Structure 1
Amino acid sequence: MQITLKKYILPLAHTFTISRESRDEQDTLIVGLTLNGKTGYGEATSNPYYKITIEGMMAEIEAVRDQIEAYDFDTPENFYEHLESLNLHKFTLCALDLAANDLYGKLKDKPLYQIWDTTTDQYPITNYTIGIDTIEKMVAKLQEKPWPLYKIKLGTNEDVDIIRELRKHTDSVFRIDANTAWTAEETIKNAPLLKELGVEFLEQPLKADDWEGMALVKKKSVLPVIADESCIVETDVEACGPYFHGINIKLTKCGGLTPARRMIKKGRELGLQLMVGCMTESTVGISAIAQLLPQLDYVDMDGAMLLREDIATGVTILNDGKVIFPELPGSGIQLL
């Protein structure tokens, strides 16, 4: 098996702002794994919140390149065990695991969702994300991209006013992501106002380790609350169970499709609502997420839609949120 590594700088269509940062571009690592004439592709983005750089991930892989390339590849699950023994960071694991799953599907000549015994007869549509900006610019972004379902990033001193103004311009469903910027008291106070304005749920309103606050929020909030920063790896699923109504699984944070599928299984056992989110990946990462769609209640896979230029083909998201799955097997990815 041969490894290829390439860094890309993805230009964003608009400056993207959340409660803790703004950016105009997104660095990403694309990993290729080639075996028997087939190449699978995986992706992981840089992330300052988790102190992840592309150069750091590439250095990790280069340090164990020989052990990876010498591995006798059979299944993604067995390969993942091998990768874990090499003590790689979860983001690095994700890029390799996504590539391994794409390769496996291509070797088997089947899309991953079929290998996993699911169908695309029914699946949730993705939201489209509106980052924090002036109210006028947030309205303009919303009008530029008519969509049935929006995720609105909040964490300002005028959060409810923002939603009131946005509501004047669309009947679409809203989801709110405060990215840990609120207190328990703010969340409980804002929830009924936001519910009246057509908000479906709140994503990670409190700091990731504020379990006491989340216990109060879950008890008193009139809106469901979904964990994001509180749910990073597999062991977090059970920890989040008593404090949240659902979890948002990020492939880069948990280490890829292989652990994400286990998190989905555990979440179902605990009666949690299940969502998978993205990290402004290209179509490489988004196409991997799409393979999980039949297993999910919600999905945030608009990353490639936020880019000014993409680097790959794979799944196509239509203007009503529906997905066209590619004929190519695996995750259906081809680099441009």
Structure 2
Amino acid sequence: MRLRHYPYTLELAHAFTIATSSRTTTPAVLVELEHDGITGYGEAAMPPYLGESQESAARFLNLFDAAAVTDPFKLEEILPRIDALAPGNTAAKAALDIALHDWIGKKLGVPWHRIWGLDPAKTPVTSFTIGLDTAEVVRQKTREAAPYKIIKVKLGRDTDRMMIEAIRSVTATPITVDANQGWTDRNEALKKIEWLATQGVLFIEQPMPKAQLDDTAWLRERSPLPLIADESCQRLADVARLRGVFDGINIKLMKCTGLREAHRMITLARALGLKVMLGCMTETSCAISAAAQLSPLVDWADLDGAVLIKNDCFDGATIVDGRITLSNQPGIGAVKRPG
């Protein structure tokens, strides 16, 4: 097997602002694994808070001895070895995981949702994300989100009420809220959630800092809306300890090292009675299409990462009438655009 990787900078259509940061680009590394005349594609998308960079991803990928892989089907041997190469580097690990899954699906001639036995008609609607901004820009972005059935809004600063009121001045579309750990006082958080429950909000994602699990559990007991873990839930080992603290978890390939672990996290969450959300970073249609293969298994999806960028270099899963639509392309369902 031959490995190729190269940096790629994702250019956002709008500045993306959350409670802790703002950016207009996202660094990424694109991966190709070639074997028997077939190329599998993967992607590491790395917003700054992940702690990874194009340079760190390249260093990690260079640790992987692709030439030693003689049978790419042996995922249960290959992927644990990749995970053990170095701590962290979850996005870089996800890029290799995605590329291996893509190669296997292409070799078999079928998409992964079929390999998992999933019904593509059961994909959920996906939300459209609106970052923190001025009321005027929020209203503009809300109008752009008209085809979507759910709007996801970033909160966590002192503009929370303005953000919601700006959206509600334009649309009655249901909203999900991501506070990105922005609320640090549980009593204030409860007051915010009680008000949000009157504004057509479906659930709250990561209301409090990930270190404040006791406060979050207190909040969950009193909250009129479900609480979903994001920063508190990175990998499989995190899932069980979040039972009783959150009502559900948000799984992202870039956090959990890819499709293999994401599938296991969904299975465990279901066994524990937790709801499941499938999320993303700003990503090309490579990583988005990979995550979309799992989407028939989840309650909610936030897979709008590719529509938030201006320079997508792949075609893949699409959003039709607000719903994720899977193609019959083999592998992860993504095709690299020429050029």
Find the counterpart in structure 2 of residue 259 from structure 1. Answer: 261
Aligned partner of residue 120 in structure 2, secondary structure: coil
Moved over 4 A (4+): none
1:161 & 1:145 partners in 2: Cα distance? 18
Give the drift of 1:25. Answer: 1.2
For residue 237 of structure 1, what is the aligned residue in structure 2?
239
Moved more, 109-118 or 324-333: 324-333
* RMSD after superposition: 1.2
* Counterpart-to-counterpart distance in 1, 2:28 and 2:166: 34
SS across alignment from 1:63 = coil
Aligned to 2:82: 83
Tell me which residue corresponds to 1:277: 279
Matches within 5 A, 1:1-336: 1-64=1-64, 67-72=65-70, 73-87=72-86, 89-146=89-146, 147-183=148-184, 184-318=186-320, 320-336=321-337
Cα distance, 1:236 vs structure 2: 0.4
CA distance in 2: counterparts of 1:322 and 1:154, whole angstroms: 24
- SS in structure 1 opposite 2:122? coil
- Residue identity opposite 2:76 in structure 1: E
Cα distance in 1 between the residues matched to 2:47 and 2:15: 16
Alpha-carbon distance between aligned partners in 1 of 2:92 and 2:40, rounded to the nearest angstrom: 15
SS of equivalent to 2:77: helix
Q: CA deviation at 1:322?
A: 2.2
* Cα deviations by residue, 1:62-119 (Å, 9 ceiling, x for unpaired): 133xx23211222333321231232362221101001111111001111001101111
What is the distance in 1 between the residues matched to 2:134 and 2:58? 37
Deviations 1:41-72 (A, max 9, x none): 111112321211011111111133xx232112
- In 1, are the aligned partners of 2:125 and 2:301 still within 8 Å (CA)? yes
Q: Contact 1:68–1:83 at 8 Å: present in 2 too?
A: no
TM value normalised by structure 1: 0.96
Distance 1:253 1:127 in 2: 19
Q: Identity percentage over the alignment? A: 38
Q: Take 2:35 and 2:238, find their aligned partners in 1: how far apart are those partners?
A: 34
What's the offset of the Cα at 1:164? 2.3
Matched-pair contact (CA < 8 Å) for 1:187–1:221: no
Give the stretch that moved more between structures: 153-162 or 208-217.
Answer: 153-162
- Aligned letter for 1:44? A
Give, in whole Å, the separation in 1 of the partners of 2:264 and 2:328: 26
Question: What amino acid sits opposite 1:256 in the alignment?
Answer: G
State the secondary structure of the residue aligned to 1:193: helix
Contact 1:175 1:200 in 2 (8 A): yes
TM-score (ref. length: structure 2): 0.95
Size of the alignment, in residue pairs? 333
TM superposition shift of 1:217: 0.7
Find the aligned partners of 2:322 and 2:76 in 1 and give their Cα distance: 31
Instruction: Give the 3-state SS of the residue equivalent to 2:133 in structure 1.
Output: coil
Secondary structure at 1:265's aligned position in 2? helix
Please give the alpha-carbon distance, in whole angstroms, between the structure 2 residues aligned to 1:21 and 1:298. 25
Is the partner of 1:82 in helix, strand or coil?
helix
Whole-angstrom distance in 2 between the partners of 1:167 and 1:278: 25
- Partner Cα distance (1:132, 1:206) in 2: 17
